[in-house]
Chains A and B, each alone.
Chain A
Amino acid sequence: AIQLTQSPSSLSASVGDRVTITCRASQDIIRALGWYQHKPGETPKLLIYEASGLEGGVPSRFSGSGSGTDFSLTISSLQPEDFGTYYCQQFNNYPLTFGGGTKVYFK
Chain B
Amino acid sequence: QVQVVESGGGVVQPGGSLTLSCVASGFSFNTYAMHWVRQAPGKGLEWVAFIRSDANNIYYADSVRGRFTISRDNSRNMVYLQMNSLRPEDTAVYFCAKPLRAYGPYFHSWGQGSLVTVSS
Assess A95 versus B47: contact at CB under 8 Å? Given A1-B62, A49-B100: yes
Contact residues in B for A94 (Cβ distance below 8 Å): 50, 59
CA distance A101 to B43 in the complex (A): 9
Assess A97 versus B47: contact at CB under 8 Å? Given A43-B112, A46-B100, A49-B100: yes
> Which size bracket describes the interface of B in this complex?
20 to 34
Contact yes or no, B106 A101, CB < 8 A = no
CA distance A46 to B35 in the complex (A): 14
Contact yes or no, B47 A98, CB < 8 A = yes
Contact yes or no, A87 B105, CB < 8 A = no
CB-contact partner of B107 in A32, A44, A95, A97, under 8 A: A44
Contact residues in A for B60 (Cβ distance below 8 Å): 95
Interface residues in B68-109 (C-beta closer than 8 Å to A)? 95, 100, 104-108
Contact yes or no, B100 A44, CB < 8 A = no
- What secondary structure prevails in chain B residues at the interface with A? strand
Kindly provide the distance from the CB of A45 to the nearest chain B CB, expressed in whole angstroms: 8
Interface residues in A53-107 (C-beta closer than 8 Å to B)? 55, 85, 87, 89, 91, 94-101
Kindly provide the distance from the CB of A103 to the nearest chain B CB, expressed in whole angstroms: 10
Contact yes or no, B45 A44, CB < 8 A = yes
- What secondary structure prevails in chain A residues at the interface with B? loop
Kindly provide the distance from the CB of A36 to the nearest chain B CB, expressed in whole angstroms: 7
Beyond known contacts A34-B107, A96-B35, A96-B50: 20 more, CB 8 A cutoff: A34-B105, A34-B106, A36-B107, A38-B45, A43-B110, A43-B113, A44-B45, A49-B100, A55-B108, A87-B44, A87-B45, A89-B45, A89-B47, A91-B105, A91-B106, A95-B59, A95-B60, A95-B61, A98-B44, A101-B44
B residues lining the A interface (CB < 8 Å): 35, 37, 44-47, 50, 59-62, 95, 100, 104-108, 110-113
A residues lining the B interface (CB < 8 Å): 1, 32, 34, 36, 38, 43-44, 46, 49, 55, 85, 87, 89, 91, 94-101
User: Mind listing 5 A-B residue pairs with CB under 8 Å?
Assistant: A34-B107, A46-B107, A87-B45, A89-B45, A96-B50
